[in-house]
Amino acid sequence: MKKVYLVGAGPGDPGLITVKALELIKKADVIIYDRLVSKDLLKHAKEGAELIYVGKREGRHSFTQEEINKLLLEKAEEGRIVVRLKGGDPFVLGRGGEEAMVLVKAGIDYEVVPGVTSAIAAPAAAGIPLTDRRYASSFAVVTGQEEPGKKERLDYGAIGTDTIVLLMGVSNLGRIVEDLMRTRSRDTPVAIIERGTTEDQRVITSTLGEVVEKAREMGVRPPAVIVVGDVVRLREILGK
C-alpha cells in the first residue's frame, strides 16, 4: 500500500528520537528531510536509500512547500517506503498538517510519528521547566513568524498563559517584545536557547526590557527557542 510516514526527528540531540522513528529511518527507501534534522540520524538509513534534502540552501534554489508536496506524492506513487523526516514534532509549527492534508486528498495513506518538540526540549536542556506549580500553571507555544499577508496579526500581548515559548522568534524579536510589554513587566525574565540539546547549545538570559539589545550584542541566530516568564528564574538553580 502506498504510504508516507511523517516522522518527528526530535530537537537536535540524535538520542532524542523515538524508537518508532528510528525503526522507520532504518527501513525507509526514501527519506525526505529538513535542515534541522540531525545528520547523525541519517547514518542509520539502509544502503541504497535515497536521501533528499529539502531544507534551506544558501545561494541555491530551496524547495518550496509546493515542490515538497509534489515530491511526497511522486515518491509515494512509486510504492516505496517514504519517510518525511522533520525537526522536532511534525505537527508543531512544522507544516506537517499541510503535508498530511495533501496526502489524504491524493488518497495516499499516511502515518504521523510524533517527535520531541524543541519547544519543550530546548528549555528543558537549559534547566527551564515550562510549568512549575509555584510560578507557572500554563504555557503557550507560539510562532514568531506568521504567514506574510495574514489579515489578523498575532497580538503577543494578548496571550494569557504564564509562560510563552516562541519558535522562529529571532528576526521579529523587537516587535514581539513591544507587544509583550503592553501586558507584562519589563522585568519579566526571558531566555534564548540557541541550538538547544546539541553540542553547540548556547543560553542567554535577560529581561523583556533588555533582551532585544542583548540578543543583538550576543549575535543571536536561529534556530532558537525563546522562553518568556518567571520559570526562566529556575535556570539559576537547575541550569547546568
Ligand X SMILES: C[S@@+](CC[C@H](N)C(=O)[O-])C[C@H]1O[C@@H](n2cnc3c(N)ncnc32)[C@H](O)[C@@H]1O
Do 131 and 164 touch, CB atoms closer than 8 A? no
- Cβ proximity to ligand X, 14 vs 223, nearer residue: 223
CB of 191 to ligand X, least distance (A): 11
80 vs 127 by CB, closer to ligand X: 127
191 backbone dihedrals φ, ψ, rounded to 5° = -125, 140
Which residue's C-beta sits nearest to ligand X? 88
Question: Of the two residues 47 and 200, which places its CB atom closer to ligand X in the complex?
Answer: 200
CB of 113 to ligand X, least distance (A): 13
Compute the least distance from the CB of residue 114 to ligand X, in Å: 9
CB of 71 to ligand X, least distance (A): 18
Nearer to ligand X among residue 10 and residue 189 (C-beta):
10
Question: Which pairing describes strands 82-86 and 109-113: parallel, antiparallel, or unpaired?
Answer: unpaired
CB of 49 to ligand X, least distance (A): 23
- Give me the active site residues, please: 34, 56, 168
DSSP the chain: --EEEEEE-BSS-GGGS-HHHHHHHHH-SEEEE-TTS-HHHHTTSPTT-EEEE-S--TTSPPPPHHHHHHHHHHHHHTT--EEEEESB-TTSSSSHHHHHHHHHHTT-EEEEE----HHHHHHHHTT--S-BTTTBS-EEEEESSPPTT-SS---GGG--SSEEEEES-STTHHHHHHHHTTTS-TT-EEEEEETTTSTT-EEEEEETTTHHHHHHHTT--SSEEEEESGGGGGHHHH--
Interface positions with ligand X (CB under 6 A):
11-12, 36, 86-89, 92-94, 117-119, 122, 167-168, 193, 195-198, 222-225
Q: Which is nearer to ligand X, 74 or 120 (CB)?
A: 120
